[in-house]
Structures are given as structure tokens and as C-alpha cells.
Amino acid sequence: MTEKISGGPALGLTELIDKELPVSMLGSALGRERLGGTLLFFGPDGGGKSSLAFWLAAALNCTESRGLAAGCGKCNSCRKIANLNHPDVIWVFPVPGSIYKAEQPDQTKLAQVFEKKREKPWCEIQFAEKSEHHLAAVNRIRQEASRSCYEGRRKVFVITGADRLRLEASNAFLKLLEEPRPDVTLILCSDRPSSLLPTILSRCQRLQVNRPRRSILAGLLAGRFAMSESEALDLLDLADGSLPAALRLREEEALQSRQEWVDKTFRAVLAPGAGVCLELVEDRRGPMFNRGDFERYLAGLIQELRDALMLRVAGKEALSGRGKSIVDTGPVAEFAGQVADFQTLIKLLFRLIDLRDALNRNVNLRLLGWSLMKNMKEVLQ
Ligand SMILES: [Zn+2]
């Protein structure tokens, strides 16, 4: 089970458009119709290469602002592009080889990849295994590029991490570049353009995309995560100036803080009397004062109790590594040890799931928090 923890709302692909990205350059090339069929956006991570690709794809396919050098951002076409599901704007991400079976991608796994990108458009999709562009992916691009547009004016392929084309995939890709179609735009994005084959590089119209100014990034982070500009600048320093790295750090921080409050809850429930529980409910730094925080906190509690239950019913093997040490030795273990039997634990779990549903009904968060702890206390022997 994966819980959605963002530590704040997702940062969209459009955030830096018109602020820092060299859109004017692309816009004027579009206006003069001198835009090449194969483009390479290169520069460090967090520069906004994907954002720029999105901007260009929208400009090329917007149904409202035809002739102008920018998408309207509102029409059906622009919205589909922003949601990564326009049939003529095709995103290709480096993926692990295990996604393919007999040259065909596993559609469920592929859908999960897109879901991850939608969730965090600024961060590279992380996989446990090595991710690359495989021959099968390039073959699919070639096949798709030979078809005419479904609904747009121009077929756009955005190939992120383009330096991770496997050798046989690079060779197939070259063939694609040698047989260009007038209505196809290929956008390659790369942090390490020197790793691309020189024969591919020489066929690209190149555009360097530098990281936006630190003050702009700090303003963006501060606005998103209720932190001061100086805190945001500190976070950026820690992240070496990279926005995706800063977002990842922030996420880790949110996870850590969620874990702290989950642990505190088990300890409060185990403490005699109701005093510690009440203190926790009224603590303004805690999760009872913000709906999003409460949601993540409750998800954390449910996850730990579920793990504790699995541990009790099926033994350690059932947890396959995740959170085993916490569940084995942390406050949740002590709590689960004091519950009479696993049926009681199951009942509690269902009760917490009911409380999670109550969150959608606009109830008072502290009342909900109090009810949560009361339910937990009641199952202790
Ligand atoms: Zn539009």
C-alpha cells in the first residue's frame, strides 16, 4: 500500500512559465516558423525542461489561440496536454526493462508511471531498478510517428532523460531522425547531453534551459509549503539549488513528522488517564489543526496498525521489509501487544477507516482526534 504524501500540493508544470523559462525564444521561432523538427532541451535538473516541453506542445496544439505563440491553457487540448493524456502529445519516460513483456509494455505498470509523473511533475520518476529507454519504446515512437494526428495539429513526442537511450534504441532513434515527418516534433530533454550519440546531437536544434533564479524558486517553495523565504532558501541550499531535490527533502521531512505524531499517539494512548491524549489533541504543532495533515497522519496510523495486525496474524515474512523494525519494536508494537486479540485489532482498524471517511463530512478535527484516541484506549486490556 502506498499512501500519498506530498507535504503540500503538487507543483504543476506551468508554475514557471512566463517567469523564467526561455519561452520567448521558442515563441519567436514558432512565429517565424523556424522551429526544427527535433529539439534538445538541455540543462541541470529542475531547470524546467518538462515545463518548456509542455509549453511548446500546448502552443503547437491549442485549439483557441491558433496562430499565437502560446497555448491558452484552458481549452480541451491544453488541458489534456497538461494532464499528460493528449493522444498526439506523447511523453516517453525512461523505465525499467521489467515493464516490457514481448516488446509490449504492461499497461497497468505504464499507467502507474504516468500517475507518478502527474503527482510530481517536477521530479524524475524514481524506480528501484535501472531505468532506460528501450528499443521497444523507440519502436512504438516510430510506429506512432508514422500515423497522422488524432485530434491535434502536430504530433509531439517528449522524451525525458534522453541520454538514457540504450544503444540499440539509439540506433533505432537515429532512423526516426533520418525520416522526419512534417507534422512531427520530437523534444529530447536531458541533464547530460554529452551522453547522447553525436549523430543524434548533430540533428537537434538545441536550447539550454538553466535553473530559474534562487529567489524565484524560494518564492515558489515558500508559497507552497507555508515557510518563510529564508527557510525556503535554506532548503534550496541543502538541495544544492535543485528544486526537485528540495521537494524530495520536504517530502522526507513531512514523512518524518508524520511518523513522529503517529508514535506520539501510541504513547499517549498507552499512558494512564486521558491527560496526554488531550494535550496531543490540543497541540497546535500537531495534525489536528489542518485537514491535509490529519489525513496523512490518520493514513500513517492505519498503515502501522495494519502492519501490526499482519505481524500478529502472519508473522514477520508478511511485511517484506517495509516498516518491520518500527512495527516490531516501536510504540505500535507495545500497543498491539496490549490488545486482547487480533479480532479486536481488526475492529479498531475498521473504526479508524470509518473515521477517515468522516473526514470528508467536514467534522471538527479535534473532536475526530479525540474520538480516535478514545477508540484506541478502549481496546487496551
Ligand atoms: Zn488551449
Confidence of residue 316 (pLDDT cuts 50, 70, 90): low
Task: Indicate if the pLDDT at residue 206 is higher than 50.
Answer: yes
Measured CA distances, 291 to 325, 327, 364 (Å): 29, 26, 10
Quick one: pLDDT at residue 322? Answer: 55
Q: Cα separation of 370 and 364, whole Å?
A: 10
Q: How far is the CA of 329 from the centre of ligand 1 (A)?
A: 55
Q: Cα separation of 246 and 252, whole Å?
A: 10
DSSP state of 186: E
Of all residues in the chain, the percent with pLDDT exceeding 70 is: 88
- The sign of the torsion formed by the CA atoms of 350, 356, 362, 365 equals positive
- ∠ CA 193-198-203 to the nearest 5 degrees? 90
Task: Indicate if the pLDDT at residue 251 is higher than 90.
Answer: no
- ∠ CA 27-89-209 to the nearest 5 degrees? 45
pLDDT, tens digit, 9 for 90 and up, residues 261-312: 999 999 999 999 999 999 999 998 888 888 878 888 998 999 888 888 887 7
pLDDT, tens digit, 9 for 90 and up, residues 254-274: 888 888 999 999 999 999 999
Residues 6+ apart with CB under 8 A from 61: 71, 77, 78, 81, 86, 88, 89, 152, 153, 154, 156
Of all residues in the chain, the percent with pLDDT exceeding 90 is: 40
Listed ranges 247-251, 278-282, 359-363; the one with the highest mean pLDDT: 278-282
Q: Cα separation of 206 and 40, whole Å?
A: 5
Tell me the CA end-to-end span of the chain in Å, nearest whole number. Answer: 29
Q: How far is the CA of 37 from the centre of ligand 1 (A)?
A: 21
Q: Cα separation of 110 and 280, whole Å?
A: 42
Question: Regarding predicted confidence, which is higher, 91 or 219?
Answer: 91
Q: How far is the CA of 372 from the centre of ligand 1 (A)?
A: 47
Q: How far is the CA of 114 from the centre of ligand 1 (A)?
A: 22
Quick one: pLDDT at residue 27? Answer: 72
Q: How far is the CA of 18 from the centre of ligand 1 (A)?
A: 16
Q: How far is the CA of 57 from the centre of ligand 1 (A)?
A: 10
Q: Which residue pairs, CB below 8 angstroms and at least 24 apart, start in 45-48? A: 45/124, 45/191, 45/242, 45/244, 45/245, 46/122, 46/211, 46/217, 46/241, 46/242, 46/243, 46/244, 46/245, 47/209, 47/210, 47/211, 47/212, 48/16, 48/20, 48/21, 48/209, 48/211, 48/212
Quick one: pLDDT at residue 301? Answer: 93
Q: How far is the CA of 68 from the centre of ligand 1 (A)?
A: 11
pTM, entire model: 0.71
Q: How far is CA 355 from the centre of its chain?
A: 27
Q: How far is the CA of 65 from the centre of ligand 1 (A)?
A: 6
Q: How far is the CA of 76 from the centre of ligand 1 (A)?
A: 7
Q: What's the whole-number mean pLDDT along residues 192-206?
A: 93
Average pLDDT taken over every residue of the chain? 85
Q: How far is the CA of 223 from the centre of ligand 1 (A)?
A: 26
Task: Indicate if the pLDDT at residue 161 is higher than 70.
Answer: yes
Q: Cα separation of 158 and 184, whole Å?
A: 11
Q: How far is the CA of 88 from the centre of ligand 1 (A)?
A: 14
Quick one: pLDDT at residue 151? Answer: 94
Quick one: pLDDT at residue 132? Answer: 94
Quick one: pLDDT at residue 11? Answer: 54
Q: Cα separation of 5 and 254, whole Å?
A: 8
Q: How far is the CA of 184 from the centre of ligand 1 (A)?
A: 19
Task: Indicate if the pLDDT at residue 2 is higher than 50.
Answer: no
Q: How far is the CA of 70 from the centre of ligand 1 (A)?
A: 8
pLDDT, tens digit, 9 for 90 and up, residues 76-121: 999 899 889 999 999 999 999 999 888 888 999 999 988 888 887 7
Task: Indicate if the pLDDT at residue 372 is higher than 80.
Answer: yes
Residue with cell 485537514: 291
256 grid coordinates: 518524518
Q: How far is the CA of 161 from the centre of ligand 1 (A)?
A: 27
Q: How far is the CA of 86 from the centre of ligand 1 (A)?
A: 12
- The sign of the torsion formed by the CA atoms of 233, 236, 240, 243 equals negative
Ion ligand 1 — residues with CB < 5 Å: 62, 64, 71-72, 75, 78
Q: How far is the CA of 178 from the centre of ligand 1 (A)?
A: 31
DSSP state of 217: H
Q: How far is the CA of 60 from the centre of ligand 1 (A)?
A: 9
Q: Cα separation of 295 and 100, whole Å?
A: 36
Cβ pair 214, 233 in contact under 8 A: yes
Q: What's the whole-number mean pLDDT along residues 360-372?
A: 89
Q: How far is the CA of 81 from the centre of ligand 1 (A)?
A: 9
Residues 6+ apart with CB under 8 A from 11: 120, 121, 122, 220, 224, 243, 247
Q: Cα separation of 239 and 134, whole Å?
A: 31
Q: How far is the CA of 218 from the centre of ligand 1 (A)?
A: 29
* Residue 187, H or E segment: strand 184-190
Measured CA distances, 146 to 25, 180, 181, 309 (Å): 29, 10, 8, 54
Q: How far is the CA of 89 from the centre of ligand 1 (A)?
A: 13
Three-class secondary structure of residue 327 per DSSP: helix
Q: How far is the CA of 243 from the centre of ligand 1 (A)?
A: 27
Q: How far is the CA of 74 from the centre of ligand 1 (A)?
A: 5
Q: Cα separation of 254 and 280, whole Å?
A: 18
Residues 6+ apart with CB under 8 A from 240: none
Q: How far is the CA of 156 from the centre of ligand 1 (A)?
A: 15
DSSP 50-116: HHHHHHHHHHHH-SSSTTSSS--S-SHHHHHHHTT--TTEEEE--B-GGGEETTEE-HHHHHHHHHH
pLDDT, tens digit, 9 for 90 and up, residues 8-26: 344 566 666 555 666 777 7
Domains belonging to the chain, first-starting first, are: 23-211 (3.40.50.300), 250-378 (1.20.272)
Quick one: pLDDT at residue 270? Answer: 94
Q: What's the whole-number mean pLDDT along residues 315-341?
A: 72
